[in-house]
Amino acid sequence: MPDDRFGMLFVCHANLCRSPLAERLARRAFDDAFGPEAAAIVTASAGTRAYDGSGMHRGSAEVLAECGVDAGGFVSRTVTAAILRDADLVLTAEGDQRAACLTLAPGAVRKAFTLRQFARFAAAVPPVTSGPAAARMHRLVAEVNATRHLAPPVPAGQDDLPDPVNQPIEAFRACAEDVWASLRSVVGAITAV
């Protein structure tokens, strides 16, 4: 995307539960932080094994409604190399999905992270607080890439977002809280004063 726009792509397995939650919660987080200027940050989602054209899982839609976030109009899609190339930042639910994305688009290595991983890295860099929101996100990704080698390693699986599929609604609520906490770190890295 051009520098005055920033595309965030959230990827999970089927593009029914976690990535739709992240897409819609990210939209809310950026809208709350930047108002109309947030339109320059585009949020989208896809799945490594999606059934194209499916609706959002009812658990994710219910939790979004509880948060006051519109779940309407969502349609699942399968991630492709072209979708990955068009994104400025790819945030996956799990490391396996990150690996699948990099198999499709090896050139995405410096813009693909798990959501939790990117949130950890973003919280560790100096805040990027000047300029338009999209430009701040571009600079944040550059800062994260410049310093990611300094981050201490974490245990395997710690950066993975648990899948709530086939679980009670409480698992979807926990997933949404986890996503929201990660998004607070990301948005905080470009709004802190």
Q: What is the CATH number of the domain that holds 131?
A: 3.40.50.2300
Q: 3-state SS of the chain: helix, strand, coil percent to 5?
A: 50, 10, 35
Specify the pLDDT at position 2. 61
Residue with tokens 């947030």: 38
CA triple 32-75-173, angle to 5 deg: 55
Using CA atoms, how far residue 134 sits from 47, 67, 108, 109, in Å, is 24, 25, 19, 20
- Tokens for 64, please give them: 């979004």
**Is 1 among the domain residues?**
no
Q: What is the CA radius of gyration of the chain?
A: 15
Beta bridge partners of 9: 44, 90
The Cα-based distances of 149 to 24, 59, 160 in angstroms read 30, 37, 19
Kindly report the pTM of this predicted structure: 0.97
Cα separation, 140 vs 133, in Å, equals 10
Q: Is the pLDDT of residue 17 over 60?
A: yes
Q: Is the pLDDT of residue 131 over 90?
A: yes
Domain that holds residue 179: 6-191
Given a cut of 60, whether residue 159 has pLDDT beyond it is: yes
144 occurs within a structural domain? yes
Work out the average pLDDT over 71-87. Answer: 97
Q: Taking every pair of C-alpha atoms in the chain, what is the biggest distance, in angstroms?
A: 43
Query: Based on the structure, what is the number of domains in the chain?
Result: 1
Interatomic CA distance for residues 76 and 98, integer angstroms: 18
